[in-house]
Chain A
């Protein structure tokens, strides 16, 4: 560490520290943007900057504009490692990395909205500072072309540039780049295999950070090359706290009941909760978010309707169920939502016997699977309705 600090100082004093790094910058923009003329590159930079939240890097005027339209998820993304909520062990390791200890390849996994991307971005921001970040980081995700050829070309060229260990503001930084492969579980097996050797060969100049939801979809040789960290789902108290603080910052009143509805709808996914809050606040009257707003926007079927459905099933009349299903579709509600809510109601119901519950829930699972395959909503709803009807009337 000391060694490269000193080396950094000498390059800075010779005044050449800025030159090579700028060259890399344009090379990186060229590879990531794939655009021809210079005007579009400027555009690309702006949109990229938006994604990473680097407003300082671009001109003053666009900063105002970008800030105004910035999604809250990006606006309130943790800027430093310490701001990351809840993930204790990981934060400790990352802090060590900041202090100059080992920076291994990382593999972050866990459910969506738990701070995986935020964590790596925050570390990089602290390591490299706003300005260097652009050229030291390559972010690739499922929306980019990521087949085996891209891994070979793009990642390889990016990894091959050497780096100085000094930031433009004179501070020291580690002499490597970081390649973030977001949504890595959607990479093909062949592309993952192509990464294996590159990871080892370029480890002098490059660190990889793989981010995914399901670790089982990362091939074993790749996973074993990384330090694995599991991100836990966020507890409700932390989501609540964040939402409240955002609410205060954005001058939005959130009813307590609305907050609970938001949290239960987001299922531990902070990003989802924040996005929901933002969309709702746009539609809300007088800047007050009510429970009804939340339920409407999440596509939640009113509890009464679910009760009606069960009552209808008890009548032992399929025509009534048919009517109900038609109505639900006419009102635009999704069958998937009906199944999810029905499952909850039936599971915790005191009036339905265990044997009946098992029978109904099994059919729910089948119907949900068919729905995912693209089957028609009406038939699946009717099918479930018929099974519920038979199960309830059998005893």
Chain B
């Protein structure tokens, strides 16, 4: 049995639930015989991949849904053998080059070249090119993005690229200008709750409307998360009691508690406790940026003063930047917590002193 997220994923563009106008435009594009390189961007869980698959299905027929796993091996200049996993149908191939770390430039160059050099069989009515879907382009190194530039132009006769990323700011302008940029906005909360309701109806389970709303709100406008949360909630709590609440992932609760602990007391022993909690989170493979994000949001809620908030945000921006540059997340997370504690404590002390006078 597959997860609801996969089970109810629309398979062609007429079944998409939101952004219908954009979907119609994409369908037009699929029907014309020419097709540019594309760059699809938007927040996570907005339906980028879904839209790409729908577009491919419109172009090539249902054959694109028959996918198999492919292993491609290549040798790095230092004679190290690398293997990357790709998912492919007979019309397209999906590669995530950022998986290969510093060798992503090689993946872009070698893999793309080898795919592009294979000629597509020239059947009547079939398109003379193959589509390469590159995911997480924003995590490619500068070098790899540079290499992508010319590859895109050179092999445009036999292959089209669809690039997929979260933040367009991290893609170099040279690539952006070579693609048709498609923005996929996140669905609104109403849209999410409607979709969740629909899924439950298909599953023949009754869902209270307020629970659907709560799920939509908790999901942070991320449809994938909403559906996963809905399924988890169903498994844990069905049949739903009155006033049921959606199940929140363990680590999020853990993070909430951590934030509360920071706000409660600011001294060295507490910092040590927080440190071990942060380690716990990191060792469960929660991305450091996500931890930072959650912490800052919770901490800001507890802040009484605007100036203090502004100060904390500017510090958060600094430490998050360092987090990206360094390679040991715990230092920067802990440094931020320590900074917050000192700022917060000073603020509280100053204010209580004011009151004394």
Name A residues whose Cβ lies closer than 8 Å to a Cβ of B: 35, 39-40, 43-44, 46-48, 50-51, 65-66, 68-69, 71, 74, 112, 141-145, 182-183, 186, 266, 269, 271-272, 275-276, 278-279, 282-283, 296-299, 316-318, 322, 329-337, 367, 370-380, 382-383, 386-387, 389-390
Contact = CB atoms under 8 A, between A and B. Distances in A.
30 contacts: A35-B117, A39-B119, A47-B116, A47-B155, A50-B156, A51-B153, A51-B154, A69-B34, A69-B156, A71-B153, A143-B148, A143-B149, A182-B150, A266-B177, A279-B179, A283-B180, A331-B183, A332-B41, A332-B183, A332-B184, A332-B186, A334-B41, A336-B168, A336-B169, A375-B321, A375-B324, A376-B289, A379-B321, A380-B317, A382-B317
Interface in B110-162: 116-117, 119, 128-129, 146-151, 153-158
A282 B36 contact: yes
B213 interface: no
Given A69-B34, A283-B180, A377-B167, A390 B157 contact: no
Contacts of B296: 379
A151 to B, nearest CB: 15
Size bracket, chain B contacts: 35 or more
A394 to B, nearest CB: 11
B185 A337 contact: no
Nearest to B142: A372
Contact of A371 (B28, B128, B169, B185): B169
Nearest to A340: B169
A370 B324 CA distance: 9
B306 A318 contact: yes
Contacts of B148: 143
A68 B197 CA distance: 46
B186 A331 contact: yes
A66 B321 CA distance: 46
Contact of B158 (A47, A182, A337): A47
B43 A66 contact: no
Given A50-B154, A68-B33, A298-B181, 19 more contacts: A47-B155, A50-B157, A51-B154, A65-B128, A69-B156, A71-B156, A276-B177, A282-B32, A330-B221, A331-B183, A332-B183, A332-B185, A332-B186, A370-B321, A373-B321, A375-B321, A375-B324, A382-B313, A382-B317
B300 A374 contact: no
A267 to B, nearest CB: 9
B314 interface: yes
Contacts of A390: 307, 310
B119 A279 contact: no
A331 B153 CA distance: 30
Interface string B308-333: 01100110110011001100000000
B46 A318 contact: no
A372 B307 CA distance: 27
Contacts of B307: 390
A142 to B, nearest CB: 5
B198 interface: no
Contacts of B180: 279, 282-283, 297
B25 interface: yes
What does DSSP make chain A's interface, helix, strand, loop or mixed?
helix
Given A44-B117, A379-B296, A386-B309, A299 B320 contact: no
Contact of B186 (A43, A66, A330, A335): A330
B67 interface: no
B260 interface: no
A376 B149 CA distance: 25
Interface string B34-70: 1010000111001000000000000000000000000
B346 to A, nearest CB: 18
A373 B325 contact: yes
B178 interface: yes
B265 interface: no
Contacts of A276: 177
Interface of B: 25, 28-29, 32-34, 36, 41-43, 46, 109, 116-117, 119, 128-129, 146-151, 153-158, 167-170, 174, 176-181, 183-186, 221, 289, 292-293, 296, 300, 306-307, 309-310, 313-314, 316-317, 320-321, 324-325
Given A47-B157, A283-B180, A332 B42 contact: yes
B278 to A, nearest CB: 17
Nearest to A363: B314
Contacts of B177: 266, 269, 271-272, 275-276
A318 B310 contact: yes
A390 B305 CA distance: 13
B157 A383 contact: no
A334 B168 CA distance: 6
A112 B32 CA distance: 30
A395 B150 CA distance: 50
A335 B157 contact: no
B257 to A, nearest CB: 22
Contacts of B313: 318, 379, 382-383, 386
A375 B25 contact: no
Nearest to A296: B183
A297 B181 contact: yes
Nearest to B122: A65
Closest 4 CB pairs of A and B: A336-B169, A143-B150, A383-B317, A279-B180
Nearest to B40: A332
B152 to A, nearest CB: 9
Given A65-B128, A332-B185, A47 B154 contact: yes
Contacts of A386: 309-310, 313-314
B58 to A, nearest CB: 14
A318 B313 CA distance: 10
A330 B185 contact: yes
Contacts of A318: 300, 306, 309-310, 313
A276 B173 CA distance: 12
Contacts of A68: 33-34
A224 B119 CA distance: 44
A336 B169 CA distance: 5
Nearest to A69: B34
A43 B119 contact: yes
A96 to B, nearest CB: 30
A282 B38 CA distance: 12
Contact of A142 (B146, B158, B221, B289): B146
B1 to A, nearest CB: 31
B28 A283 contact: yes
A299 B173 CA distance: 12
B306 A316 contact: yes
B129 to A, nearest CB: 8
